[in-house]
């Protein structure tokens, strides 16, 4: 990571110095946040960050008081995903800081720009096992892009500026700033150049020969496929992705995190790829002769058994802004480091338009033979709930999915044509993500409707943040696909572990409608098909947060699914008509 000295070299000083009145470190921190455009932070005060909270009311920053620090990190994450800006969360030292770790990991693995600011015990007591001391820097090494422990209040302004720059540039990620309490209280006389600004240096562009090689591979292909991930959304490359696909007549599949970067209704759309991908997408990848992977990591949930991933591809083109991802799992013969939009723009110029009717007919045939299916046994199915919900979506509505079967059902059923409005935890698969992330997304978009799709298992992990939503007047709508069990674990046990169902049933489940009302929300329970629409309409019409508990078929599963150790083409489809 670059030093402060290297960071300073990226600035051009103004012609004169502005001498600011003496202020303490906490004030310097808050002023730096305002300069970075921060308008909302999520957090909880505690002993080691009280100087920050003492001065917070003096600054134009909205503070949303959460009920648990993990919720603060998820809210900052949801805020960032739904706005494109850096999300900020605050916590005190010790357990407060450590409670952020799951949320920081969730954001970092999904390349979301989040800055966490933690209080720390006074510098002279660090290392003495002081009350509520923890080595938060060491604890967060694997889940942050970079971390700082501030030693001098004079460094706060530049550390904050650098932290935000690191969090949002290149491959975005989570950054931690740990500030001892005495540094927050220390008086500083800040001097800074007037009008200083960062010198914008253009990133290194991929050589022309790499673009030419990729274009040549696409031009010679008879069966090309494009796979797109979240990097396409981060780069704002959705439109150019569509243009490239239409130019070369290549079907497009997406990773779970890439859901929405290619319009679901588009005739070239293949839906999800991988372990729980659509059958026709997995077959297209298995039979393609040229595969383009853009803005994605190619992790095990995408590839399944590596020797069964695109086995007929004569050329694999991998485009990613992070060189560490190239060749990490899939040995692509054409590796391009670069911003997804810039690389795709250059490819659009370099390729020639082509039609591939035979390949399109083949893919359409797979689409007809392997449609998404679910049981129709008289019980309420999750797909029926999601279909009713999606039919009520308005353009711009944001959907935040939790983790488990509910997440995959929501992604599989997704009908949106707009990018950036389907959010979920992909890399970490963090249960409990949806509710607090939806609160953060709503805080970033007060004029848009935000829905959280959860299972009851994930919801109870962060249920306390309903109080945050009510208190902050953030009208998120929570839709529970309630099967009274850890559904994905149950399906894995049925399919891959001898059918032994062990510790998956929720024998005690709260009355969520009553619980919602106890928090001050709208609450309803749905058990019959004819109740789905009216309950959704009532929840949407309610001016505040709402919770609807849909009691779905407890035996519902996700299909298609690739058996553990299987190749993409070996997917198993729904056994019921």
**543 in Cβ contact with 521 (< 8 Å):** no
**505 in Cβ contact with 494 (< 8 Å):** no
Catalytic residue among 11, 54, 59, 132: 132
Tell me, what's the pLDDT at 416?
A: 84
Lowest-pLDDT choice from 61-70, 127-136, 157-166, 385-394: 127-136
**244 in Cβ contact with 218 (< 8 Å):** no
Residue 202 has pLDDT above 50, yes or no: no
Categorize the per-residue pLDDT at 420 as very low, low, confident or very high, splitting at 50, 70 and 90: confident
Tell me, what's the pLDDT at 72?
A: 98
Lowest-pLDDT choice from 146-155, 197-206, 517-526: 197-206
The strand pair at 197-198 and 191-193 is best described as: unpaired
| Percent over 70 (pLDDT), the chain | 93
Tell me, what's the pLDDT at 21?
A: 59
Tell me, what's the pLDDT at 6?
A: 44
Place of tokens 């303490």: 24
Tell me, what's the pLDDT at 462?
A: 98
Torsions phi, psi of 546, nearest 5?
-140, 150
- DSSP class of residue 572 equals B
Tell me, what's the pLDDT at 161?
A: 97
Averaged confidence pLDDT in the chain? 92
Tell me, what's the pLDDT at 207?
A: 84
Catalytic residue among 69, 133, 157, 456: 69
Catalytic residue among 131, 239, 358, 496: 131
Query: Which class does domain 4-198 fall in?
Result: alpha beta
Looking at the chain, the domain(s) classified CATH 3.40.50.970 span 4-198, 382-567
- Average pLDDT of the segment spanning 276-290: 97
Residue 196 tokens read as: 């200083």
Fold topology of 208-369: Rossmann fold (3.40.50)
299-318 pLDDT tens trace: 999 999 999 999 999 999 99
- 131 assigned to active site: yes
Residue 199 has pLDDT above 50, yes or no: no
Which residues in 44-184 belong to E strands, given as ranges? 62-65, 87-91, 114-120, 146-149, 174-180
Catalytic residue among 412, 488, 559, 571: 488
H or E, element range at 493 = helix 487-496
Residue whose C-alpha is closest to residue 136's, from 117, 153, 115: 117
Residue 454 tokens read as: 């959860």
Across the strands, what pairs with 193?
A: 17
- Average pLDDT of the segment spanning 425-449: 97
Catalytic residue among 109, 162, 164, 181: 181
- 191 assigned to active site: no
Fold topology of 382-567: Rossmann fold (3.40.50)
542-568 pLDDT tens trace: 999 999 999 999 999 999 999 999 999
Residue 469 has pLDDT above 50, yes or no: yes
Lowest-pLDDT choice from 198-202, 382-386, 416-420, 573-577: 198-202
224-240 pLDDT tens trace: 999 999 999 999 999 99
- 181 assigned to active site: yes
Looking at the chain, the domain(s) classified CATH 3.40.50.1220 span 208-369
């Amino acid at each position: 990571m670059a030093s402060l000295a290297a960071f300073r070299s990226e600035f051009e000083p103004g012609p004169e110095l502005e001498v600011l009145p003496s202020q303490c470190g906490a004030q310097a921190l808050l002023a730096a946040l305002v300069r970075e455009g921060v308008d909302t932070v999520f957090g909880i005060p505690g002993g080691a960050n009280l100087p920050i909270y003492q001065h917070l009311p003096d600054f134009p920053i909205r503070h949303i008081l959460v009920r648990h620090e993990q919720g603060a990190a998820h809210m900052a994450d949801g805020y960032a995903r739904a706005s494109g800006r850096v999300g900020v969360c605050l916590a005190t030292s010790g357990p407060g800081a450590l409670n952020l770790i799951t949320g920081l990991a969730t954001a970092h693995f999904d390349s979301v720009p989040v800055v966490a600011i933690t209080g720390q015990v006074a510098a002279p007591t660090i290392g003495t096992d002081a009350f509520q001391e923890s080595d938060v820097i060491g604890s967060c090494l694997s889940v942050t892009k970079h971390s700082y422990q501030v030693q001098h209040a004079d460094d706060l302004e530049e550390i904050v500026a650098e932290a935000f720059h690191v969090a949002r540039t290149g491959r975005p990620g989570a950054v931690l700033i740990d500030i001892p309490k005495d540094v927050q209280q220390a008086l500083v006389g800040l001097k800074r150049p007037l009008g200083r600004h960062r010198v914008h240096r253009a990133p290194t562009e991929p050589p022309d020969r790499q673009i030419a090689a990729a274009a040549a591979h696409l031009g010679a292909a008879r069966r090309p496929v494009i796979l797109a991930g979240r990097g396409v959304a981060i780069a704002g490359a959705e439109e150019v992705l569509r243009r490239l696909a239409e130019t070369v007549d290549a079907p497009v599949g997406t990773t779970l995190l890439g859901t929405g970067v290619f319009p679901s209704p588009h005739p070239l759309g293949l839906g999800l790829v991988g372990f729980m991908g659509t059958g026709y997408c997995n077959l297209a990848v298995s039979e393609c002769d040229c595969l383009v992977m853009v803005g994605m990591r190619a992790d095990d949930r995408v590839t399944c058994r590596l020797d069964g991933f695109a086995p007929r591809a004569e050329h694999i083109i991998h485009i990613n802004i992070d060189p560490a991802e190239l060749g990490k799992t899939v040995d692509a013969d054409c590796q391009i480091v670069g911003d997804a939009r810039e690389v795709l723009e250059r490819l659009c110029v370099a390729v020639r338009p082509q039609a591939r009717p035979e390949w399109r007919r083949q893919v359409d045939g797979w689409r007809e033979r392997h449609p998404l299916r679910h049981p129709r046994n008289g019980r309420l199915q999750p797909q029926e709930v999601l279909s009713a919900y999606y039919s009520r979506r308005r353009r711009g509505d944001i959907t935040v999915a939790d983790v488990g079967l509910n997440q995959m059902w929501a992604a599989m059923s997704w009908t949106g044509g707009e990018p950036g409005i389907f959010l979920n935890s992909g890399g970490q698969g963090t249960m409990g993500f949806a509710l607090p992330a939806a609160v953060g997304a709503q805080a970033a978009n007060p004029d848009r409707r935000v829905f959280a799709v959860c299972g009851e298992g994930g919801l109870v992990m962060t249920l306390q943040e309903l109080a945050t939503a009510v208190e902050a007047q953030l009208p998120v709508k929570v839709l529970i696909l309630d099967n009274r069990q850890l559904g994905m674990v149950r399906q894995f046990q049925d399919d891959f572990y001898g059918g032994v169902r062990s510790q998956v049933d929720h024998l005690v489940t709260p009355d969520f409608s009553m619980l919602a009302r106890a928090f001050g929300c709208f609450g309803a329970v749905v058990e019959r098909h004819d109740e789905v629409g009216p309950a959704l309409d009532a929840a949407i019409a309610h001016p505040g947060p709402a919770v609807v508990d849909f009691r779905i078929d407890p035996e519902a599963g996700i299909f298609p699914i690739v058996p553990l150790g299987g190749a993409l083409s070996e997917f198993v489809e729904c056994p019921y008509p």
